[in-house]
Structure 1
């Protein structure tokens, strides 16, 4: 009795008739669905191409595997247009051998696949008395008799497939947008943490960035829309909270910096992710404009504006070479004299005086545009932030800002009470107040390097007004 196996040995057959198949509840429901084909085709003709397209569009969202889609696509190859007209039934009867060869399946696999298609509500089987598949058509190609695969359930479900496909596409787009928002949020958190690190206030903030990255990794694996929405909302709220904390910390540092230029660490690195913007179309304050005209008139020996109203022309080098600018919070960008010098100094001489610029130059004989670009790279080494560099370009002009930065690069580290960035911040503040004398600093560097002082000229005298 211990070795008794009910399924072994002869016994009663499970099928009363050879070829009859055992039905499941799903297969019975599919047969009832196929009976509604007459209602669908009533009054016209069903387009088999659109039926198949609707099924294929919905298949991914119904989680139908590729084998199911391939099998239905293959069965549709045997149907004809007249099979979908009113009063007909779209039945196809390819042999099992053809199906095995076309789908690269074994006989057992084909049987399981056919039952699965019926269970999923896609086809129903029309069995002949002898269990074989066959059919015949009349001279007009209409089916007279057929036993095989009835494709009616797919036609009946065409509207359902379209709705599923539309909902699936909408859900996919929603998930795509949510995941994009998650990526933006985690990058924003990373930028905030990096900025806080440069400000020296990032203690404990690195953990926030790590947690955000782990949460994004989980969001990318989740398919439930509600869960993804919750995760993205959490990320965005965390980003907003960290940004508020960072802005509050920056305001605190700015308030502390108002007490002095070099006595307090001005945090020269600042917000490294903000764009570098040099303003060239600033509207001048009237008081600044009057002050500029007075200084220009005194420097040029009384040469005021011309009849045409031009205030920036006059004798060559009048205040331009020395970087002359009006006082106040806004400035006019100085122009380079016709001889191509700034403070009677060529770009090559500036590189010799400030050799740290050379590492960032693309060519051996640079012009002032290359000098400005190299200074923009050099500022990283000196701890000068992009906003501070932009303020310097606005206050002095790009070329003179590059000269000022080069002067800072020549100073030894023990020269600064705070940092090179704080020292440069002080130079910018003095430039705004009209108290910066870069020409004197350049003469001092020339003297320290043993280079001869250039001959005195009207331009040199004009530079003393800085």
Structure 2
């Protein structure tokens, strides 16, 4: 004669009884509509979808506990119940009853109080993870039958395995949510750093623009996020900062257009040559400038005075190379500057704008940058700055190094081409 499986719990009323009744009815309906598996060798090997590894499933439920409204203490009780099941796998299509005493279950839960234990058991039943299979007197035990087999009364773990697919899906969603929150937090941190740097530099240099208003907006968005902020909170902050960052960057670039990119086009035609192609940097990180070039006859260099009378003889074999040098050749040797461009650099104008932006990040003063552009010209100064950025980790003071190169260029002892050649050799 088949055993009757009760729907109602023994001696339990209120919401806990209602949760048990609903869970038991749903489990009974599921078993009626789902065909029984014949648990052959395939099922034992783990290919049966109704069977689940209890440890892997518990880990997945731990990651997805928020989706099921379970706390860490409730999962501790579930882990204790699983420890009473001797097999590693649990069959979701057949009753899997464990029948620990209250005292033993409490001990495996770290000495949890009986009232707390009952509350967490009710939580597991309400979440559909276990069912109560109470005996007529409410006690938990196993009873052998004369015809073979046995009847057990206690807690049924089969619903836990039956919901494996749902649990794994929720765990994947929870993991994706954690990664999304982490990525949004990283973006917030990076934008906060960039906004702070640009606004601080602009205010300290007295640049034109609505920097005071931008600083106030930044202060409102720089408050720390809650440690357990959800994705919506972090994403809202990220979007607000992205909007502010776009305005800050555009204001900075507008300031550069007005303040730092108005040099005469004639500077782009200047050229200074150094016949030695040794590296500009030493491995120890100490800066090394180019050795003085041999002065040759046949071409002249203007020191930039109004009268143009101070002229020294310098060679010109590289002049056509510099003028004909494509932007792609510079970018192949100095790819790092591309990370700072607001848009893809397709012409020299955008390259020079980006170099002026990078100047602030390298800590080069406006005076040093202005002097370099005045002596070398806009194009050559931008190339030099891109080369300095490429080896920023080897240069102790980017500003001091640029001033030294400017001084060498003013004396006709520095050329851009050997610097680019050294970078080409480095990347090859």
Tell me which interval the TM-score lies in, with the shorter structure as reference length.
0.5 to 0.7
- Matches of 1:206 and 1:143 in 2, distance apart? 82
- Please give the per-residue CA displacement for 1:355-401, whole angstroms capped at 9, x wherever unaligned: xxxxxxxxxxxxxxxxxxxxxxxx98997446856997989xx9xxx
- Please give the per-residue CA displacement for 1:85-122, whole angstroms capped at 9, x wherever unaligned: 58741110000111222222222222222222212222
Specify whether residues 327 and 118 from structure 1 end up closer, same or farther in structure 2 by C-alpha distance, changes over 3 A only: same
Shift of 1:63: 4.6
- Matches of 1:251 and 1:26 in 2, distance apart? 69
- Matches of 1:40 and 1:246 in 2, distance apart? 68
Structure 1 counterpart of 2:27:
34
- Matches of 1:84 and 1:431 in 2, distance apart? 79
Shift of 1:149: 0.8
- Matches of 1:83 and 1:239 in 2, distance apart? 53
- Matches of 2:139 and 2:198 in 1, distance apart? 72
Out of 46, 49, 52, the residue aligned to residue 47 of structure 1 is 52
Structure 1 counterpart of 2:97:
91
Out of 209, 215, 221, the residue aligned to residue 215 of structure 1 is 221
Q: How does 1:41-440 map to 2 (within 5 A)?
A: 42-44=37-39, 45=43, 46-49=51-54, 50-81=56-87, 84-85=90-91, 88-103=94-109, 104-136=111-143, 144-201=150-207, 205=211, 208-209=214-215, 211-212=217-218, 214-217=220-223, 219-220=225-226, 223-254=229-260, 296-297=296-297, 325-326=314-315, 384-385=367-368, 428=406, 431=409
- Confirm or deny that 1:20 pairs with 2:11: yes
Shift of 1:435: 12
- Matches of 1:105 and 1:136 in 2, distance apart? 28
Shift of 1:124: 1.4
| Contact in 2 for aligned 1:33/1:156 (Cα 8 Å) | no
Task: Name the SS for the 1:252 alignment partner.
Answer: helix
| Contact in 2 for aligned 1:124/1:149 (Cα 8 Å) | yes
Structure with max Cα Rg: 1
Q: Which runs of 5+ in 1 are unaligned?
A: 1-16, 262-277, 282-291, 300-322, 333-378, 399-420, 437-466
| TM value normalised by structure 2 | 0.55
- Matches of 1:126 and 1:148 in 2, distance apart? 5
Task: Name the SS for the 2:21 alignment partner.
Answer: helix
Task: Name the SS for the 1:147 alignment partner.
Answer: strand
| Contact in 1 for aligned 2:70/2:123 (Cα 8 Å) | no
Task: Name the SS for the 1:296 alignment partner.
Answer: coil
Specify whether residues 224 and 28 from structure 1 end up closer, same or farther in structure 2 by C-alpha distance, changes over 3 A only: same
Structure 2 counterpart of 1:403:
none
- Matches of 1:41 and 1:190 in 2, distance apart? 64
Q: How many residue pairs were aligned?
A: 296
| Contact in 1 for aligned 2:9/2:132 (Cα 8 Å) | no
Task: Name the SS for the 2:190 alignment partner.
Answer: helix
Specify whether residues 134 and 48 from structure 1 end up closer, same or farther in structure 2 by C-alpha distance, changes over 3 A only: farther
Specify whether residues 326 and 64 from structure 1 end up closer, same or farther in structure 2 by C-alpha distance, changes over 3 A only: farther
| Contact in 2 for aligned 1:41/1:86 (Cα 8 Å) | no
Task: Name the SS for the 1:247 alignment partner.
Answer: helix
Q: How does 1:421-460 map to 2 (within 5 A)?
A: 428=406, 431=409
Q: Which runs of 5+ in 2 are unaligned?
A: 1-7, 44-50, 268-277, 282-292, 300-311, 322-361, 385-398, 415-428
- Matches of 1:68 and 1:165 in 2, distance apart? 17
User: What is the RMSD of the two structures over their aligned residues, measured on CA atoms?
Assistant: 4.9
